[in-house]
Every structure is written in C-alpha cells, then in structure tokens.
A and B are shown apart, each in its own frame.
Chain A
Amino acid sequence: MKITDALEIFSQTDPGVVRSHNEDSVAAEQSCGLVVLADGMGGYNAGEVASGIAVSVVSSEISQALLNASPADVDKSGGEELALLLLRDNICKANSSIFNAAQSQPQYSGMGTTIVSALFYDNRVAVGHVGDSRVYRLRGEILEAITRDHSLLQEQIDGGMISVEDARLSKNKNLVTRAVGIDAEVEPEIHVHEVMVGDIYLLCSDGLNDMVEDEDIGATLVAMQRNLPLAASQLIQMANDNGGRDNVSVILVKINGKFSEPKGWLAKLIGWFQE
C-alpha cells in the first residue's frame, strides 16, 4: 500500500479557554507520511513565530528532500537511514533559524519552541522531539507515551526523586530542559519504532496531557478510533472542560495498512509499474 493510502491523518489546534492567542503550530505532509507539531514560547507573538518557523522548516525541508529519495535509504558516510538524518538535521536547522531571528530582532529575543515530528516509512515511524510535546501510541487498547519529556519533572522522575503519581502534584510543571531556538545548538532525541496496522499515533502539546489524564485520552481514542475528526475535537473539548489553561493541539495518525518499502531492484521495478 502506498503511504498516502496507508495513513489517515487529522490535526486540530485550539487556543484553549484562557489564552488569547495560539502559540502552537501543526503541519501534516500526507504525501510523505510526515507530521510536525510545535508549542512555542516567548512574549507577545514570539511564541507563534518560533513554533511557526520550526514547523515550516521541518515539514517543507523534509518533504522536499523526499521528492527524490526514500527515508529508508542508508546514508553512505554515516550508515544511518535518511529518515533519522532528515529529522535531526532539520530540527537543528529550525533551531538555527529561530536562534538567529531571536538574535537579530529584539522583539523575538528569547523565543523558543518544543517540537515533535513523526516520519512514517517502511512499516516504521521515526520520531524526533525536543521539549515536552509528546507522541502517544494506541495499540489495541493500550495507550503509551513513546517520547520522554525533556522537562525538569521528567528528570526528577527518572532520578527517583518523585514518583509518577506525585508528579501530578508538582508545582514545577512547564519547565522544559531542552527547547528549539534558545541556544545556538540543540540535540534532538530521535528513535525508530515498529508500526502495526491499527495503531493510532497521537502527537500533542502539553495543553492536552496537562489537562486530561492519560486514561481518558486512551478511552477517547479507543471509542472514537473510527472517526478521527471526532476523536480530535473530543480530546480538545476535554482539555477545555478541565480548564483549558493552555493552547491544545493534536495530530492523529491512524495506520490503515502496511506500507513497506520495496526492497531490491525487482520489487522496485514492480512498484514502479504499479504506480
């Protein structure tokens, strides 16, 4: 199955009930199986600017690069798949763009953004992220976060200082330890996961997972998996019903079929004739 047919993608973003403007940005490139979400920060409209730059750099550069290449191609020098390389390089590129804009224009000083991006290819997904925007995976009835926040709270959980249950009571939420555009360099975290038919991937900003319990996110996805637009608006509505103190963005990707990369010249030739 071609990737465009194998994936069903729906995204939605909402300012929430407290904030006047939306500093989140989302993008989806169905043709190459790419989704990107960013949650900006910074005064006035700088947050929107930062998340907007990040999303457009990553989505346009990667989709451009994949016009003439496959994400499963192996880079000759590094021995790494192109998918990983593209995610890493372009998150770094977004970092430089934002950092330089912030340096040159005083009103953008100190702006930054989280980013999470997922590139689907060859029955796998490469996920790159910086900050506390997440990817969850629903497989069967089990919802699991497949990214780990770059946040003070997550570091405290990892260090055994605080339990996951206690973390909900923490007053140190919203402190990210890594962000795009704050420093001259950034190190994105990149992982590859196997994908199964029926999986649903949820990319979200912390406006969702701070306001809605994982259990309710999971129940919503299970109940509404055949209707992604409804699931997205239900998630946003739950965040807003619970206070909606932050912008809420969600991207849902449902795997409706296998999308393996043709291997070997014969398979490629057949694939070429089938198109």
Chain B
Amino acid sequence: MAAKIILSMDGMVIKEYPLNKERMTIGRKSHNDIAIDNLAVSGEHAAIVTILHDSFLEDLDSTNGLEVNGVPTKKHFLQSNDVIEIGKYKLKYINDQVTQTTAADFEKTMVMRGPVKQAAPATAQPAKSEAGESTGRFDTPRPASPAPASAPSAKPASAAPSVKPPSSPADANQHVAVVQVLTGPNAGKELELVKNLTTLGKPGLQVAVLTRRPQGFFITHVEGERFPSLNGVSLTSQPHQLNDHDVIELAGVKMEFYYKK
C-alpha cells in the first residue's frame, strides 16, 4: 500500500491522496496532483517525490512557504505522521510500511538493475506487491509513532522496529550501572557504565570489558595471562553475567559492580 497524504482544514478531513506517482505536486492551480484552491497557496507550492518507500517534500519557491510539524522548511524527508502546513491547510503524511518489516522477506536484500532512474518503476512493482501482501497480514492499526526513541525494549525480537534500536538499549534495569574501585590509589572512584562497552585494566597486562546486553551487563576477559576473578572465583574465557554487588578483581584492583538506585 502506498503512502498517502490526508488533506484537512480546521480538523475537517477534505480528501486523501495516495502517493502513487514518483512526483506529486501541491498547488493552487488545477493541474496539481493535490490542488488547493486558496489564495495563500502558490500556483505550484510544493512537491513530494517518492522513491519506493521513502518520500521527500520540497518547497517549490512558494510565496508563503510551508511548515512541517510547526517548523518552516524548504526540504524534508517525510516520516509517517508528519504534518505539513500550508496556510490554514494541514497535510498529514501516513506511511505505515513500517509494519511490513516484520515480514522477514522484506528485509531481504534485493537488486536494482541498471541506473536507479530507469530501474525505479520496474523494482517498485515487486516491492509493492510485497507491501500489499504484508500490510494485508498486519493491517491492525499500530500506535502512531514507531520512532526509535520510543521503541520499548520489552518488545520481542520478532516485532523489532524497522530502524536500528537506540544504541543504549533501555535494559530491564533502568538504574545506572556503576563500577566502584575498592582498593588501590583510585579507591572510592566511581565509573558509570553509560556506554555499551567499557574497558577495564591495563593494555598489555590484563584487560577485561564490560558489555551491556539486553539481559544486563557481562564481563569478558580480553587479554593477559591472568583472568579476572569474580567474588573470588577466577573467570573463564566465556562472558559472565554480572549481578548487583559482584566484586571484580582485575590487575590487582578490586572493584564492585552495582546498580545505582
């Protein structure tokens, strides 16, 4: 199913336009694909260029300009639920293609033959039929914003969002994980584990990394003849999950891992 534009004014829907052409124009004159007969709208006000599943909005040097989600703009990569404002008119962009990324096939790499320009219509065909098929399967309305920031980590992997999950997976423990040095000259120092990967130890001597995974933090030995120990027990070369208040000993320094409440 193609993406669409819903034209409305003062909260009243006027018309829906499927974005079924590579370039659709918006303007006052009647030859536009989306014609808005209002003096505040330029003859040819804006255009939406659609390439397969992505649509781009551009202002065609209109007299009064346009806004997207309240921000004046000349050119914009449209995301589903964006609201384009031209004068008193609102044009909402809906692209629920995101649902089809759950269909495994869609993720598969496909080839476009030849130069993009000529290839676009040809490849659009199979892509569309897939889209139709999968939107059929997943036509339950989805919560409005599939924005990456809101992607809950509790979602099962099969319903993964179409974009990369944020680099900091909000793991089950919302608390900040911390390593506090217990012995040696740096005793008392705290290190917040804000990155997905934190290195501990001295390169060339003994190094371990703490990695953040969806299920929590893990410690892994990287280099050095001696392995780090956890609560007095020497680790193996396998990653080991850390529990609250575990004591790590590495290169002669003891440190405690815990979740800040």
Residues of A near any B CB (own CB < 8 A): 17-19, 39, 41, 112, 114, 131-132, 152, 155-156, 161-163, 166, 168-172, 174-179, 182-183, 206, 210-213, 215-216, 219-220, 222-224, 226-227, 230, 234, 237-238, 241-246
Taking the complex as formed, is B225 at the interface, i.e. its CB lies under 8 A from any CB of chain A? no
Task: Evaluate contact between A169 and B163: CB separation under 8 angstroms.
Answer: yes
**Contacts A152-B116, A162-B77, A170-B54 known; A226 to B109 CB distance under 8 Å?**
no
A227/B223 in contact, CB under 8 A: yes
Residues in B with CB closer than 8 Å to A242 are: 160, 164-165, 169
Does B42 touch A at the CB level, under 8 Å?
Answer: no
Tell me the smallest distance from the CB of B98 to a CB of chain A, in Å: 7
Contacting residues, chain B, for A220 (C-beta < 8 A): 197
B157 and A112: CB pair below 8 A?
Answer: no
Known contacts A41-B110, A244-B157, A246-B107, A171 near B199 by CB under 8 Å:
no
Mask of B15-27 contacts with A, CB within 8 angstroms, 1/0: 0000000000000
Whether the pair A174, B197 counts as a contact (CB closer than 8 A) is no
Whether B203 lies near A219 (C-beta < 8 A) is no
Whether a CB of chain A sits under 8 angstroms from the CB of B51 is: yes
Tell me, in angstroms, the Cα distance from A171 to B19 when the chains sit together. 15
Q: Nearest CB to that of B196 among chain A residues? A: A216
Q: In the complex, what residues of A have CB within 8 A of residue B222's CB?
A: 223-224, 226-227, 230
With A18-B157, A226-B207 in contact, is A172–B54 under 8 Å at CB? Answer: yes
Closest to A156 in B: B51
A174-B52 contact in complex given A219-B197, A242-B165, C-beta closer than 8 Å: no
13 pairs, CB–CB < 8 Å, chain A vs chain B: A18-B104, A41-B108, A41-B109, A152-B51, A152-B116, A182-B113, A211-B164, A213-B167, A216-B197, A219-B195, A223-B199, A230-B220, A237-B213
Tell me the count of chain B residues lying within 8 A, CB to CB, of chain A: 45
Per-residue A-contact encoding for B196-217, CB less than 8 Å = 1, 0 else: 1101000100010101011000
B186 close to A (CB within 8 Å)? no
Answer whether residue B79 sits at the interface, using C-beta atoms and an 8 A cutoff: yes
Known: A175-B123, A219-B197, A243-B165. A162 touches B56 (CB 8 A): yes
Encoded as 1 (CB less than 8 Å from any A CB) or 0, chain B from 111 to 136 comes to 11100100100010000000000000
- Measured between alpha carbons, how far is A112 from B211 in the docked complex, in Å? 36
Cβ-closest chain B residue relative to A39: B109
Whether the pair A223, B209 counts as a contact (CB closer than 8 A) is: yes
Q: With A168-B163, A243-B165 in contact, do A223 and B111 touch (Cβ < 8 Å)?
A: no
Q: In the assembled complex, which residues on chain A have CB atoms less than 8 Å from the CB atom of B140?
A: none
CB nearest to A162 among chain B residues: B77
B150 CB contacts on chain A under 8 angstroms:
none
Q: Is B180 an interface position by the 8 A CB rule?
A: no
> Do A172 and B53 contact each other (CB < 8 Å), given the known contacts A41-B110, A112-B111?
yes
Contact B160 A182 (CB under 8 A): no
Shortest Cβ distance from B189 into chain A, in angstroms? 20
Q: Is the interface of A mostly helix, strand, loop or mixed?
A: loop
**Closest partner residue, chain B, to A218 (CB atom):** B197
Decide if A234 touches B211 in the complex (CB within 8 Å): yes
Query: Is the beta-carbon distance between B157 and A171 smaller than 8 angstroms?
Result: no
A231 and B28 CA atoms in complex are apart in Å by 59
Q: Within the assembled complex, what's the spacing in Å between the Cα atoms of A43 and B207?
A: 44
Q: By the criterion CB–CB under 8 Å, are B108 and A172 in contact?
A: no
Q: Are B52 and A175 in contact (CB under 8 A)?
A: yes
CB pair B197–A172 under 8 Å, yes or no, is: no
Q: Contact: B108 with A174, CB < 8 Å?
A: yes
Check B62 for interface membership: any CB of A closer than 8 A: no
**Smallest Cβ-Cβ distance to A211: which chain B residue:** B164
The 8 A-B residue pairs with the shortest CB-CB distance in the complex, in nearest-first order: A171-B53, A243-B160, A226-B223, A223-B199, A174-B109, A179-B111, A166-B77, A219-B197
A222: B residues at CB distance < 8 A: 199
Question: In the complex, A252→B109 CA distance in Å?
Answer: 23
Chain B residues positioned under 8 Å from A215 (CB to CB):
167
A155 close to B116 (CB less than 8 A): yes
Residues of A within 8 A of B56 (CB): 161-162
Q: A39 vs B107: C-alpha distance in the bound complex, in angstroms?
A: 13
Give complex CA distance A169, B79 in Å: 8
Known: A41-B108, A112-B111, A176-B112. A241 touches B214 (CB 8 A): yes
Write out the residue numbers on chain A whose beta carbons fall within 8 Å of the beta carbon of B53. Answer: 170-172
Give Cα A83 to B223, complex, Å: 35
Q: Are A176 and B164 in contact (CB under 8 A)?
A: no
Q: Which residues of A contact B77 (CB under 8 A)?
A: 162-163, 166, 169-170
Q: Which of B152-169 contact A (CB under 8 A)?
A: 157-158, 160, 162-165, 167, 169
